[in-house]
Homo-oligomer: A and B are copies of this chain.
Amino acid sequence: MEKIVSNRQVPAMNVLIVFAHPDRRSLNASLRDVAVEELEALGHAVEVSDLYAMAWKSAVDGADFPAIDPKARLKVAAASGDAFAADALTDDVKAEQAKLLRADVLILQFPLWWFTMPAILKGWVDRVYAYGFAYGVGEHNDQRWGDRYGEGTLAGKRAMLIVTTGGWREHYSPSGINGPIDDLLFPINHGILHYSGYTVLPPFVTYRVDRLDDAGFAQAAAALRERMRTLESTQPIPFRRQNGGDYLIPSLELRPGLEATGVSGFSLHLKQVE
């Protein structure tokens, strides 16, 4: 059978969606289906890692490193690095790493539980992001402190979050009680995605999802389709590169004078866009 190719002028990409909701009838699953449908209509190839459907193992433990003596002390980073170097990680982890290497775009999709990702998705990060694969990559010297924060195994690829929350948009606004949504997601966008090399796009966040009616869903779906159509043209979050000269080495503190007036905290790590 001939493959039907979209007539849109968009180069076909491989997209991986890592999905973390327990119910396939959830709003999250509906939004995932919208994203997949739009991406496939654009001619992209989509893989979905549905963590609940896969019964993903969340906890890092000795069973993750079958080559290591189970009676020996488990030093997680060392065990992870040894196993990655020897191609001795477990098959489930190796399969996810292969998907990441294949994908031009990574999407992590989840409901915001306690202001971050559900445990099952954190367990995907903890296990798949092995030493030598997503951290502990590259040389450390006077010029560079490893390949991370803008460099690394996954450099050249794009990533974004699709997030739902029961809370109101205002509660996540710059002065909202939960903290600004961009700051809450910073440890993921910067500390996980940018860290391992990804160019990170702004997140797609849907608020007050428990009260979302049909019109609200239609609006969210339309906005999500637009984000899927613009994966390649959307301006990324302008995180600073670690080894680009903005940080002192080895203290990795921002070089004095680069902070804009009144900027502190996580925002220091954004390039000031003119």
Contacts and interface: CB of A to CB of B under 8 A. Distances in A.
Interface of A: 22-23, 25-26, 52, 56, 58-62, 73-77, 111, 113-120, 122-123, 125-126, 129, 149, 166, 168, 170-171, 173-180, 183-184, 186-187, 190-192, 210, 242, 247, 250-254, 259, 262-269
Given A77-B210, A191-B179, A265-B180, A114 B120 contact: no
A273 to B, nearest CB: 17
B120 A116 contact: no
A19 to B, nearest CB: 13
A173 to B, nearest CB: 6
Q: State the copy count for this chain.
A: 2
B59 A119 contact: yes
Contacts of A179: 186-187, 190-191, 265-266, 269
A44 B133 CA distance: 44
Instruction: List 6 A-B pairs, minimum CB-CB distance, nearest first.
Output: A119-B123, A115-B191, A58-B58, A115-B187, A119-B122, A58-B119
Contacts of A62: 22-23
B26 A73 contact: yes
Contact of A58 (B120, B168, B171): B120
Contacts of A191: 114-115, 178-179, 184
A187 B172 CA distance: 12
A252 B23 contact: no
A184 to B, nearest CB: 6
Interface centre among A25, A62, A191, A267 (most CB of B within 10 A): A191
A125 B25 CA distance: 24
B247 A177 contact: yes
Given A168-B252, A175-B268, A264-B267, 11 more contacts: A26-B75, A58-B58, A58-B119, A58-B120, A77-B166, A119-B120, A120-B123, A123-B123, A175-B254, A177-B247, A177-B252
Given A26-B73, A264-B265, A60 B114 contact: no
Contacts of A61: 22, 52
A265 B262 contact: no
A128 B170 CA distance: 27
Contacts of A171: 251-252
A196 to B, nearest CB: 10
